[in-house]
Amino acid sequence: MSLSKTTCAALMTRLGKVLSKHALLHDEEALRPYECDGLSAYRQLPAVVCLPETVEQVQAVLRICDELQVPVVPRGAGTGLSGGALPDHAGVLLVLTKLNRILEIDAPNFCARVEPGVRNLALSEATRPLGLYYAPDPSSQIACSIGGNVAENSGGVHCLKYGLTVHNVLGLKMLTIEGELLDIGGKTLDAPGYDVLALLCGSEGLLGVIVEITVRLLPCPECAQVMVAAFDDVAKAGAAVGNVIAAGIIPAGLEMMDKLAIRAAEDFVHVGYPKHAAAILLCEVDGARVEVPEELQRVRQIMLESGAFEVRIATDEAERALFWKSRKATFPAVGRLSPDYYCMDGTIPRHRLAEVLTRIEALSEQFGLPVANVFHAGDGNLHPLILYDANREGDLTKAEALGACILRLCVAVGGTITGEHGVGIEKLDGMCMQFKSSELSQFLRVKAAFDPQGLLNPGKAVPTLHRCAELGAMHVHRGQVPFPELERF
């Protein structure tokens, strides 16, 4: 359904009354930069882009859209990797990046109040002089917004020890599609009634528009050190991850990169990772100055006993930063190896790591597309990057089919189709794999409890039962799946 001429005219007139000219975009050329988020395989121009600067403006926009029954897609910085902020062609794209004020840093209460458009890293930079920081640190932290982090329940390289966004948010203000402002939680460690806060973390813009966030701040650890352990076999690295955890150690971060990822990162950042390694583990330990070296030695010992052929500990803060820079730059680095890449995000139980990586390698060979693995090994959150060339006929379909096989594999070993990037538009079929129709119906009823007309980010995150039924029929009866000759999990 596209926006009728009359609705569109009414929408523009009314929006024009609440937003300044430069905050309301309608020309195709101006809309173009907003046609996709970080998942560029999906593109769509919205009818209108709104760039409000105040909560009152957001409220006014929502009220107008609600009255005119126009869909609204919230958008933060647009770094999402599941197409969650993909515009609706008949709707408004509500961009929240101009609400970018840090409203309060409340050091005595270890928290800060921010607008949703504040960049993740900007907050930690602002609080660091007070000896405090915001723990969730997605690799995209220079760019992504805290509102987007809440909507995706983002993790980061340190979430093994410090948790995901949901563990670090104390309060939210959100607007319903009707424009009602709801105040959820606050500066306290819990809140009365149902845990609506938990429900909103990871709600992908389907339940409400988040306009203010109270986050918890943690004291900066006195000391942090990182090591790189190199393995000649991915399975050994996978086992080492389990051995560290089983020894009762919760590192601040525990990341894995495979051969292809190492090569890409090395060509890009030149850290001096051992290039001939089949896999490396990056392990960070933080805490008190007396305790860190001891724990690091224990981890080093476990790495060696698990078969690491080389363990290097960063000698100073500069080297530590470099090790991490290289890890955080792996996505763009892989981007230089191939015209396009498709990033997956399944989570699996840690003890299945070695097995799953071996099967992904086999799938990669079957499909004839290289896969680079760089991921949060400590919590079993995989990011296989499938390399393809969108300009080569059939490559994208092949990449998507390979991706679907990987996700099915994750579900089959007891994991999930998405650990932190969200379902968005991309993993709707995966949701049909993971959930029964009664469970999906329950999700849809929760959605309706907030947004009965289904105007907020329609068609995302939760598939319709119809879609799943069709998909099921396709898989089971007609056998028309792409690449029927290939093994599926």
Partner 1 sequence: MNHDLSLSLQDQVKEAIAKKHTLAIVGGGSKSFLQSAKADAELNLSGHRGVLNYEPGELFISARAGTPLAEIETLLADHRQMLASEPQHFSQGENLATLGGAVACGFSGSRRPFAGSLRDHVLGVNMLNGKGERLQFGGQVMKNVAGFDVSRLMVGARGTLGALLEISVKVMPKPELEQTLLFECPSVHAVKRMSGFVHRSLPLSALAWLEGYLLVRLEGTETAVSAASAQIGGDVAEQSANFWLSLREQTHPFFRRHQPLWRLSVPPAADLPIPENEVFIDWQGGLRWWQTDRSAEYIQTMASKAGGYAYLFRDAGPVIGDSPPTGLLTLHRSLKQSFDPDGLFNPGLMGGQF
Ligand X SMILES: Cc1cc2nc3c(=O)[nH]c(=O)nc-3n(C[C@H](O)[C@H](O)[C@H](O)COP(=O)(O)OP(=O)(O)OC[C@H]3O[C@@H](n4cnc5c(N)ncnc54)[C@H](O)[C@@H]3O)c2cc1C
- If one asks whether residue 359 binds partner 1 (CB under 8 A), the answer comes out as no
CB nearer to ligand X: pick between 138 and 238: 138
> Per-residue x/- marks for partner 1, 318-347, CB under 8 A?
-----------------------------x
Of the residues 85, 271, 360, 385, which one makes contact with ligand X according to CB under 6 A: 85
By CB under 8 A, the count of residues binding partner 1 is 89
Return the residues of window 21-50 that contact ligand X according to CB under 6 A.
37-38
What separation, in Å, do the N-terminal and C-terminal C-alpha atoms of the chain show? 36
Give alpha helix (H) positions in 413-464: 428-434, 437-450
CB nearer to partner 1: pick between 102 and 191: 191
d(CA 66, CA 68): 6
Minimum Å gap between C-beta 57 and partner 1 is: 22
Neighbouring CB atoms inside 10 A of 358's CB total 13
Stretch that binds partner 1, among 19-27, 179-187, 263-271, 314-322 (CB under 8 A): 179-187
- If one asks whether residue 294 binds partner 1 (CB under 8 A), the answer comes out as yes
Sign of CA dihedral 269, 272, 277, 283: negative
- If one asks whether residue 457 binds ligand X (CB under 6 A), the answer comes out as yes
Of the residues 6, 315, 391, 438, which one makes contact with partner 1 according to CB under 8 A: 438
d(CA 235, CA 240): 9
What is the three-class DSSP state of 371? strand
Minimum Å gap between C-beta 413 and ligand X is: 21
- If one asks whether residue 376 binds partner 1 (CB under 8 A), the answer comes out as yes
* The one-letter amino acid at 205: G
- If one asks whether residue 416 binds partner 1 (CB under 8 A), the answer comes out as yes
Stretch that binds ligand X, among 103-111, 203-211, 228-236, 437-445 (CB under 6 A): 203-211
Minimum Å gap between C-beta 201 and partner 1 is: 6
Locate 457 and state its tokens.
Answer: 């980010």
Give alpha helix (H) positions in 306-427: 317-328, 330-337, 353-367, 395-412
d(CA 57, CA 276): 55
Asked if 454 and 489 count as a contact pair (C-beta separation under 8 A), the reply is: no
Of the residues 23, 62, 70, 151, which one makes contact with ligand X according to CB under 6 A: 151
Q: Which of 54, 73, 55 is nearest to 65 (CA)?
A: 73
Look at residue 223 and give the partner it binds from partner 1, ligand X, none, a contact being a CB closer than 5 to 8 Å depending on partner kind: partner 1
d(CA 297, CA 305): 12
Stretch that binds ligand X, among 4-12, 22-30, 122-130, 150-158 (CB under 6 A): 150-158
Locate 456 and state its tokens.
Answer: 């907020």
Look at residue 210 and give the partner it binds from partner 1, ligand X, none, a contact being a CB closer than 5 to 8 Å depending on partner kind: ligand X
CB nearer to ligand X: pick between 251 and 359: 251
CB nearer to partner 1: pick between 123 and 377: 377
> Per-residue x/- marks for ligand X, 394-413, CB under 6 A?
--------------------
What are the C-alpha distances in Å from 321 to residues 111, 225, 266, 289, 404?
26, 10, 15, 18, 35
Sign of CA dihedral 101, 105, 106, 111: positive
